[in-house]
């Protein structure tokens, strides 16, 4: 049997040298090293030999099996390498080329402006307070000193719901009442917050107006707050936003929830105040509306207006983005046109 084993060994080695593919290699393994393979069966027949021959035969059989196992592993690697090379050559794939980069999204231009506003107001000590988009008529108008039939309501065409008294907010100003009531702790604590969010008005959609738009409102309530504090705060913001040499202009205005009220302009940063198409040749760009908080609004927020005072301001992030990048159509912000969005 030892002679048969040696012959089988030579046969297996000769045969594996001619194996050229994975399928043939698998068949060779079953034929010689499988559970019913030739070498395996000869090992199992060791017990049939005379006692004095078993040790030598068993030792040699195990050695041959290990040698064939090593030959199989070596041939397997060679076959796999050859098949891989063939596949690469057939497919003309250059594995040394860098992989294709995965496309990544970008921040919406309004979001970019918001983040810049958050950074500036955060550095100035303001807390971000988020209020709800769906509001009550009372919170959106009445508590802000805009009672029913007030002419200021005509300026804000409102989206009403089927639920009586429930509307989509027309401005972020309801957040004034909510922030004062929640953070002011029944009119006992000063607050300093900004109120970002989306607003909705039933307006005709044109290149200059949309039925949805962002606003960012600011509220400051404390003791001995004066108009000079409002002007200084807004001026500091403008210089951080538009440059340290930015010039400011304040114009008298009217808002039901502030008294006195004013509009805030910054010198046009495109023409330096000389006049251009962006500033309509006036040399100034309007950036915010503001004013000292009306006593009625303070009282509705939980504060005693004889002890506390405050100011509020509001600005449009889309308007700032339009001014910054020279965008001529506000509808582009919500059209989901990648040709527009990828510019930012």
Q: 203 and 262: one domain?
A: yes
Within a domain: 318: yes
Domain boundary among 91, 121, 152: 91
Q: 250 and 283: one domain?
A: yes
Q: pLDDT digit string (tens) for 292-343?
A: 999 999 999 999 999 999 999 999 888 888 877 878 788 899 888 888 888 8
CATH label of the domain that carries residue 230? 3.30.930.10
Within a domain: 302: yes
Q: 122 and 18: one domain?
A: no
User: What is the reported pLDDT for 269?
Assistant: 72
Q: 40 and 142: one domain?
A: no
Q: 84 and 175: one domain?
A: no
User: What is the reported pLDDT for 227?
Assistant: 96
pLDDT over threshold 80, residue 173: yes
pLDDT-derived band at 16 (thresholds 50, 70, 90) equals confident
Domain boundary among 32, 59, 91: 91
Q: 85 and 129: one domain?
A: no
pLDDT over threshold 80, residue 152: no
Mean of the pLDDT values across residues 234-250?
A: 89
Within a domain: 101: no
Q: pLDDT digit string (tens) for 194-208?
A: 999 999 998 888 877
Is pLDDT larger for residue 90 or for residue 235? 235
Evaluate if pTM is beyond 0.85.
no
pLDDT-derived band at 92 (thresholds 50, 70, 90) equals low
Within a domain: 96: no
User: What is the reported pLDDT for 218?
Assistant: 96
pLDDT over threshold 80, residue 9: no
Q: 125 and 237: one domain?
A: yes
Q: 261 and 117: one domain?
A: yes
Q: Give the chain as a 3 state SS string.
A: CHHHHHHHHHHHHHHHHCCCCHHHHHHHHHHHHCCCCHHHHHHHHHHHCCHHHHHHHHHHHHHHHHHHHHHHHHHHHHHHHHHHHHHHHHHCCCCCCCCCCCCCCCCCHHHHHHHHHHHHHHHCCCEECCCCCEEEHHHHCHHHCCCCCCHHHHHCCCCECCCCCEEECCCCCHHHHHHHHHHCCCCCCCEEEEEEEEEECCCCCCCCCCCEEEEEEEEEEECCCCHHHHHHHHHHHHHHHHCCCCCEEEEEEEECCEEEEEEEEEECCCCCCCCCCCCCCCCEEEEEEEEEECHHHHHHCCCCCCCCEEEEEEECHHHHHHHHHCCCCHHHHHCCCHHHHCCC
User: What is the reported pLDDT for 91?
Assistant: 63
Within a domain: 183: yes
Within a domain: 100: no
Q: 7 and 115: one domain?
A: no
Average model confidence (pLDDT) across the chain: 87
Q: pLDDT digit string (tens) for 97-128?
A: 788 888 888 899 999 999 999 999 999 999 99
Q: 255 and 330: one domain?
A: yes
Q: 280 and 207: one domain?
A: yes
Within a domain: 25: yes
Number of domains, the chain:
2
| Domain range enclosing 27 | 2-91
Within a domain: 99: no
Mean of the pLDDT values across residues 144-171?
A: 86
Domain boundary among 39, 57, 91: 91
Q: 207 and 160: one domain?
A: yes
pLDDT over threshold 70, residue 176: yes
Mean of the pLDDT values across residues 254-269?
A: 90
């Amino acid at each position: 049997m030892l002679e048969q084993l040696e012959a089988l060994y030579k046969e297996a080695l000769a045969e594996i040298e001619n194996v050229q593919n994975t399928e043939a290699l698998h068949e060779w393994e079953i034929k010689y090293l499988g559970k019913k393979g030739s070498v395996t069966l000869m090992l199992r027949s060791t017990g049939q030999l005379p006692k004095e021959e078993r040790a030598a035969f068993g030792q040699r059989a195990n050695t041959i099996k290990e040698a064939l196992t090593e030959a199989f592993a070596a041939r397997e690697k060679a076959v796999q390498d050859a098949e891989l090379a063939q596949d690469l050559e057939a497919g003309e794939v250059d594995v040394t080329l860098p992989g294709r980069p995965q496309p990544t999204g970008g921040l919406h231009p309004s979001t970019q402006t918001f983040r810049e506003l958050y950074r500036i107001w955060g550095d100035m000590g303001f807390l971000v307070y988020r209020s709800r988009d769906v509001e009550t008529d009372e919170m959106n108008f009445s508590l802000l000193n805009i009672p029913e039939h007030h002419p200021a309501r005509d300026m804000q065409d409102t989206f009403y719901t089927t639920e009586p008294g429930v509307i989509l907010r027309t401005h972020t100003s309801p957040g004034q009442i909510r922030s004062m009531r929640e953070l002011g702790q029944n009119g006992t604590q000063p607050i300093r917050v900004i109120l970002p969010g989306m607003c909705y008005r039933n307006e005709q959609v044109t290149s200059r107006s949309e039925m949805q738009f962002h606003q960012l409102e600011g509220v400051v309530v404390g003791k001995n707050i004066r108009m000079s504090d409002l002007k200084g705060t807004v001026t500091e913001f403008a210089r951080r936003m538009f440059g340290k040499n930015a010039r400011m202009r304040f114009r008298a205005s009217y808002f039901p929830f502030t008294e006195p009220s004013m509009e805030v302009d910054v010198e046009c940063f495109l023409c330096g105040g000389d006049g251009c198409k962006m500033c309509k040749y006036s040399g100034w760009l309007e950036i915010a509306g503001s004013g000292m908080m009306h006593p009625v609004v303070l009282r509705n927020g939980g504060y005693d207006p004889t002890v506390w005072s405050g100011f509020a301001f509001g600005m449009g992030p889309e308007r700032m983005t339009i001014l910054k990048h020279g965008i001529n159509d506000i509808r582009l912000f919500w059209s989901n046109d990648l040709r527009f969005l990828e510019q930012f």
